[in-house]
Structure 1
Amino acid sequence: MAYWLMKSEPDVYGIDHLQQDGTTLWDGIRNYQARNFMRTMAIGDRAFFYHSNAKPPGVVGLMEVVETGLTDPSQFDPSSKYFDPQSKPEAPRWDCVRLRYVGTFATMLSLDALREQFSVEELPVVRQGNRLSILPVPDASAARLLTLLGPC
């Protein structure tokens, strides 16, 4: 099982939305590196839900990958802000995964707290200016995160 950190703005789609929905398509990713990370995900992988553009930003919950290799439907929807006119149904550019809500941590682990606990090599999200919405989390760092966050 691999671990990931996946960012979303809480006012757009937060951990409370996922808890209510149970599962969600992680669609709308329009960065090739983040897309490629999704392509390597496997069923059963876990992802830390990170609230970005929040005050403060930080890790708030845990998700599980339940479906992979899905075509992102938003790329074909002209009314979507994620519409990609260059993408064609016979050769889609953008993928997504389906995630299941696992839980919400009792307390958020803020970006400042993450920077105190982890180096850039241990947890890339602490790098100043990191804008990638999906990042791998090394096993040792995932274990430390789970210890710091406690059960959800």
Structure 2
Amino acid sequence: MRYWLYKSEPATWSWEQQKAKGEAGEEWTGVRNYQARNFMREMKLGDRGFFYHSNEGKEVVGIVEVVKEIHPDSSADDPKWECVDIKAVMDVPEPVTLDRIKGEPALKNMVLVNNSRLSVQPVAEDEFRHVCEMGGVDPKTVMKS
């Protein structure tokens, strides 16, 4: 299993909207960056990730799971743009801000710290565990082996 981070502006697509989609989840549309798209091409069913509110809040607010692997992005006219579908798994009880993440020496190599503009990005297993703990989530409840 791999771990990821998905960024969305709450005014465009919020955590509450993601949760409202239930078990079926929703397409992660609108990604128009080759590197972010290529990360989605690596995703497998069951991979977990953080739902991150960008611009407003700048914080990890939830945990999601990939429920459909790469397929054409229904919001794109060009077939080169693809996406995955994700569903909400659980809230992060204590949202973890970008400032808190940047303040943690153990997270200094996290992509979010070093390339905060990338909308879809990988998260190392130890980083995922650490951010879960910072947010009041027991990693054992969301990390599959």
Alignment TM-score, normalising by the size of structure 2: 0.88
The DSSP-based 3-state class of the residue aligned with 2:102 is helix
Residue 28 in 1 paired to residue 30 in 2?
A: yes
Q: How does 1:75-114 map to 2 (within 5 A)?
A: 75-76=76-77, 87=78, 92-114=79-101
Query: Could you tell me the percent identity over the aligned residues?
Result: 39
Give the deviation of 1:59 after TM superposition. 0.4
After TM superposition, the structure 1 = structure 2 runs for residues 9-48 of structure 1, keeping only pairs within 5 Å, are 9-22=9-22, 23-48=25-50
CA distance in 1, matches of 2:54, 2:15: 11
Mapped pair 1:115 → 2:102: yes
Amino acid at match of 1:46: R
- Per-residue deviation, 1:137: 0.4
Q: CA deviation at 1:120?
A: 3.7
Where does residue 132 of structure 2 map in the other structure? 146
Alpha-carbon shift at residue 69 of structure 1 (Å): 1.8
Structure 1 unpaired stretches of 5+: 77-86
Question: Across the two proteins, how many residue pairs are aligned to each other?
Answer: 135
Between the aligned partners of 1:39 and 1:116, the Cα distance in structure 2 is: 31
> Counterparts of 1:39 and 1:150 in 2: how far apart (Å)?
30
Between the aligned partners of 2:107 and 2:16, the Cα distance in structure 1 is 29
- Give 1 or 2 for the bigger CA radius of gyration: 1
Aligned-pair distance for 1:15?
A: 0.6
Deviating above 2 A after TM superposition, structure 1's stretches of 4 or more consecutive aligned residues are: none
TM-score (normalizing by structure 1): 0.84
Unaligned runs of 5+ in 2: 139-145
Counterpart position of 1:126: 113
Cα deviation, residue 44, structure 1: 0.5
The answer on whether the counterparts of 2:60 and 2:96 sit within 8 Å (CA) in structure 1 is yes
Q: Residue deviations 1:13-55, cap 9 Å, x none?
A: 011001111211001100000000000000000010000011x
Q: Does 1:3 align with 2:10?
A: no
Is the contact between residue 6 and residue 52 of structure 2 (CA under 8 Å) also seen in structure 1?
yes
Could you tell me how far apart the structure 1 residues matched to 2:112 and 2:127 are? Answer: 12
Question: Is the contact made by 2:67 and 2:87 (CA closer than 8 Å) also made in structure 1?
Answer: yes
CA RMSD of aligned residues (A): 1.4
